[in-house]
Structures are given as C-alpha cells and as structure tokens.
C-alpha cells in the first residue's frame, strides 16, 4: 500500500515539519507501508515568497534578519487572510492547481493530512474537496483536525486507531521500536532550501506529553501517559541529522531531562531552545544548561498576580519566577515570557500587577508574548465554569473551523475590556522587549538572532 503524508499551507515555513517526520517514523516502524511525504506549506511559500527565500541568506546583521521577518510577516498575514477568505467563499486559493498537482493523487492508495494549526484547515479543505471528487481515500490527524474538515476524511486521533485503519486494509504489522537507538528520526525528506531560515533548525520532541497537565486553561497536552524518549534515540537523532540548531517542542521538560539534554548537546555543539514552567526546582542549573547549548527559554509565566496563578493552577510562585528569570538571564539564556491576560475574574488591578511585574523584572526579560485568555473546549475552566466565575458559555458555528466559544464572567475583565486595556499598555510592554516582536511567530528564529 502506498501512502502520501501532506502538510498543508498555512503556517510559518521557518522550521522543518516535526509532525510529518514523526508520523512517517511511526508508520514505517510499525507497518509495512510505502510512504512519501510532501510539505505543501513549504511548497506554497517557496513559490509565493521567493524573494524572501533569496534574501534570507544575504542578511549580514541580526537587525537585517529581523527586518526581513517583519516584512515577511506583514505580507504573509495579508496573503493568508485573502486565501482563507477565498476558501470560505468556495473559491480556490492561490497556486491551487500547481500545489494540487504535486500530490499526484493517482500514485497513492491513501493521502494523510497532518493538521497542526487551525490556519492550515482552509487550504486543506480546498485540497480535500478536490480529492473527494476524485474518490481518493483521505485520513486526517493532528490537533487542528476538527470542524468542517472532518467531513472530507477519516479522523485518526490515536496511534491505535491509525494502526487499526491500515491493518484492516491488509497492511502487515512490523515488530520494531520507535525509540530504539538504531532507529532515529530522519529529516532527510526535507530540503533546507524549502525553509525560510538562514540555518536549518530541527524540531525535536523528547517526551510524549506534559508531565504536569494541571493548568486550568490548557488544552495543549496529549491525554497519554507521560513517557520520556530514550536518551540514545535523542542523541542519534541529533547525530543522524547533523543538527546544529534545535527547537525542543515539548510543552514542558523536567529538570533531570534538561540536564541530560545539555549533556547530549554539549559535545555535538548543538544550540537549543525550549519551553518551561518557571519553578524553583530549576534554580542552580542555568549555567550548566547554557554550557550545554541552551540559548533560549519560552517561560509559561502567564501572570504577575499570585491569585491568578493559583486559579490557573500554574504551580508557580511569583518570587521563584523572578529568581528563575534572573538566574537564567545571568547565565546568558534569552528569556521569552508567555503572558495571558483576562483569565476569568482577573480585575483591572490584577492585570496591571502583571505589567508592573514585567517592568520590575525587565532587566531579565528579552521578549514578552502576550495573549488574551480564550476558553477552549477540553480545558478545566470549560468543564467546571462555575469554579472560575463563568456564568454562561456560548458556542457559535464557523464556516471551516470548529465553533467559536464565548462566555460571560461574574466579575473581572471581559475579553473586549482586556483588549482595550492592552492597547493602552502595549507601549510599556514594547519598552521591555530586547528581541524584535516579530519572532513571537517564529520563536525558533531567536536562535539565529545573534
Ligand atoms: S500550560 Fe504547559 S505546563 Fe501547563 S498543563 Fe499546559 S502544557 Fe503543561
């Protein structure tokens, strides 16, 4: 049986697609399948934004590098919006025939769509509609495989369902281990010239899910047992792919594992970035991590108000957060902070407490990434709304994406009030940033901003 894995437009084309590499690895390890992969997102961008791909290698300074991404971000945002609108109106997006022809649907028994971001669902819908007309079997997977796209293919949302789907079609199972040291992940399907980055940045996952799983706003973590991938497998993946820059995509990494990663990366001279919760157990290891190649951490700080942190069940203490940021900064690591405003019941005073927290610690902060809380199906705050002062939840339907959730709170800032307030204080946040804001959308690129 011959299978094609595709990654549809649109998401930032600055890093290799982890989902395609790991899905191919999983299927190859477990099934006797012939598999090709196709990053249609990269194919679209290479065509539409050819001048940026050329310029990215000509930039001489970090300022020029940031400027290029600023221009790209502005132009691409408009292109994505225009094309998504076209799909909503039943029209084909740009380069559709050319992109569709790359699929060569007659060569395959099945086409699998990997949907990681909601923004991929629009172009994917146009492709899926066309494949449906040709009676091609399509399967869908990934965190964004929701909403109307599900009408065009079979959803396979677990490893077991995926294996069952193929074995029921007569594909033979294989007995191999995904994480065996001699079976590392292989990124050789992805040519670096397809990616908008002056160096190749490898995405890597080191565990199955977040081990904490408590934050009451969160729907990121997979509902599977926590499993740390074998050290030898990680090391061989870095070696096989000749990795120099790595973005670790785990939602969280435990302290002991951070130390293991730095031990693996140090002799290979790999520079890496990761995402962490600023807890006090991390104090005392920053220098060792820096010497093991850690260059940037995106911290889930969320708020500068302890009541809100406790309501979020973030499991962090304000004082420890400040200490962790200070130590990390002094070790030479870039600190990027995730801040979430307007968690249900947050007052204006508590909102401003976060701004004051950021200003107080500005010396140790490189970039602040803000968002306004959005209630999501599956989050603890969605399942027990009363505990968070949420009086009413409404879901409206959308053309392509899953329904939009809105809510009414008994006290504190509403989303609109938070948005207005954010506009008023944005200049104070901008004054803190040392890294250009454009890298919020492609955080792995901060590894090259030097
Ligand atoms: S926000 Fe991060 S640390 Fe908290 S549960 Fe989600 S993935 Fe885990």
> Are 149 and 244 part of one and the same domain?
no
Which of 233, 228, 234 shows the shortest CA–CA distance to 255? 228
Structure token digits, residue 329: 């900064």
Q: Is the pLDDT of residue 229 over 90?
A: yes
Which residue is closest in CA terms to ligand 1's atom 5?
213
Ligand 1 mutation pick, 143, 205, 218, 275, max ligand atoms within 8 A of CB: 218
Structural contact between residues 141 and 23, judged by C-beta atoms closer than 8 angstroms: yes
Q: Is the pLDDT of residue 317 over 90?
A: yes
Structural contact between residues 195 and 187, judged by C-beta atoms closer than 8 angstroms: no
Tell me the pLDDT band of 402, cut-offs 50, 70 and 90: confident
Structural contact between residues 247 and 270, judged by C-beta atoms closer than 8 angstroms: no
Dump pLDDT digits (tens) for 341-395. Answer: 999 999 999 999 999 999 999 999 999 999 999 999 999 999 999 999 999 999 8
> Are 29 and 101 part of one and the same domain?
yes
> Are 206 and 309 part of one and the same domain?
yes
Q: Is the pLDDT of residue 397 over 90?
A: no
Ligand 1 mutation pick, 205, 208, 210, max ligand atoms within 8 A of CB: 210
Structure token digits, residue 176: 């191999």
Rounded to whole angstroms, the Cα distance separating 276 from 279 reads: 9
Dump pLDDT digits (tens) for 276-296. Answer: 999 999 999 999 999 999 999
Dump pLDDT digits (tens) for 91-144. Answer: 999 999 999 999 998 999 999 999 999 999 999 999 999 999 999 999 999 999
Which of 339, 338, 353 shows the shortest CA–CA distance to 307? 353
Which residues are 156's β-sheet partners? none
Boundary of a domain, candidates 167, 190, 217 = 167
Q: How many CA atoms lie within 13 Å of 286's alpha carbon, on the beta-carbon side?
A: 22
CA 204 to ligand 1 centroid distance, Å: 18
Ligand 1 atom nearest to 211, measured from its CA = 8
Which residues sit with their C-beta closer than 6 Å to ligand 1?
A: 210, 212-215, 218, 220-221, 251-252, 277, 300
> Are 303 and 433 part of one and the same domain?
yes
Structural contact between residues 197 and 15, judged by C-beta atoms closer than 8 angstroms: yes
Q: Is the pLDDT of residue 297 over 90?
A: yes
Ligand 1 atom nearest to 212, measured from its CA = 8
Tell me the pLDDT band of 399, cut-offs 50, 70 and 90: confident
Query: Is the dihedral angle over the CA atoms 16, 224, 149, 106 positive or is it negative?
Result: positive
Secondary structure (3-state) at 82? helix
In terms of DSSP H, where are the helices of 135-273? 159-167, 231-240, 255-268
Which residue is closest in CA terms to ligand 1's atom 7?
251
Give the chain's domain count.
2
Instruction: Tally DSSP H helices, then E strands, for the chain.
Output: 15, 13
For residue 123, the model assigns a pLDDT of 98
> Are 153 and 233 part of one and the same domain?
no
Which residues are 3's β-sheet partners? 35, 110
C-alpha dist (Å) from residue 144 to 117, 148, 401, 428 = 5, 11, 9, 34
Ligand 1 atom nearest to 218, measured from its CA = 6
180 within some domain: no
Query: Any idea what the CATH number is for the domain that residue 106 is in?
Result: 3.40.50.280
Which residue is closest in CA terms to ligand 1's atom 2?
251
Residue 71: CB atoms within 10 A of its CB come to 15
User: Can you tell me the mean pLDDT for 299-307?
Assistant: 98
Which residue is closest in CA terms to ligand 1's atom 4?
215
Boundary of a domain, candidates 109, 144, 167 = 167
Give me the domain span that covers residue 374: 199-445
For residue 176, the model assigns a pLDDT of 81
């Amino acid at each position: 049986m011959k299978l094609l894995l595709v990654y549809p437009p649109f998401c930032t084309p600055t890093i290799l697609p982890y989902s395609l590499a790991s899905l191919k690895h999983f299927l190859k390890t477990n099934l006797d399948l012939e598999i090709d992969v196709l990053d249609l997102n990269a194919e679209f961008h290479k065509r539409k934004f050819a001048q940026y791909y050329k310029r990215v290698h000509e930039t001489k300074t970090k300022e020029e590098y940031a400027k290029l991404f600023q221009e790209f971000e502005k132009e691409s945002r408009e292109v994505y919006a225009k094309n998504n609108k076209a799909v909503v109106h039943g029209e084909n997006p740009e380069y559709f025939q050319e992109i569709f022809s790359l699929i060569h649907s007659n060569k395959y028994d099945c086409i699998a769509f990997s949907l990681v971001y909601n923004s991929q669902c629009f172009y994917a819908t146009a492709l899926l509609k066309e494949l449906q007309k040709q009676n091609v079997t399509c399967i869908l997977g990934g965190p964004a495989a929701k909403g109307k796209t599900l009408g065009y293919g079979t959803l396979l949302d677990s490893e077991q369902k995926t294996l069952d789907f193929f074995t029921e079609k007569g594909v033979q199972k294989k007995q191999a281990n995904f994480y065996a040291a001699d079976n590392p992940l292989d990124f050789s399907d992805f040519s670096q010239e397809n990616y908008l980055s002056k160096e190749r940045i490898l995405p890597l996952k080191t565990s199955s899910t977040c081990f904490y799983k408590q934050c009451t706003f969160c729907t990121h973590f997979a509902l599977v047992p926590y499993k740390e991938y074998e050290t030898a497998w990680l090391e061989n993946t870095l070696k096989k792919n000749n990795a120099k820059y790595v973005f670790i995509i785990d939602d969280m990494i435990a302290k002991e594992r951070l130390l293991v990663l730095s031990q693996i990366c140090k002799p290979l001279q790999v520079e890496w970035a990761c995402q962490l919760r600023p807890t006090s157990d991390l104090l005392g290891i920053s220098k060792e991590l820096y010497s093991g190649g850690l260059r940037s951490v995106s911290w889930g700080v969320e708020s500068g108000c302890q009541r809100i942190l406790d309501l979020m069940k973030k499991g962090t203490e304000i004082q420890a957060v400040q200490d962790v940021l200070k130590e990390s900064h002094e070790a030479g690591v870039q600190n990027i902070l995730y801040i979430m405003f307007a968690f249900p019941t947050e007052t204006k005073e508590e909102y401003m407490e976060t701004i004051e927290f950021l200003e107080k610690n500005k010396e140790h902060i490189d970039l602040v990434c803000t968002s306004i809380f959005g209630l999501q199906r599956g989050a603890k705050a969605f399942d027990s709304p009363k505990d968070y002062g949420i009086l009413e939840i409404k879901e409206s339907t959308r053309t392509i994406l899953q329904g939009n959730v809105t809510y009414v709170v008994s006290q504190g800032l509403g989303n609109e009030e938070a948005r207005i307030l954010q506009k008023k204080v944005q200049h104070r946040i901008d004054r803190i940033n040392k890294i250009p804001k454009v890298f919020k959308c492609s955080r792995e690129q901060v590894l090259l901003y030097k």
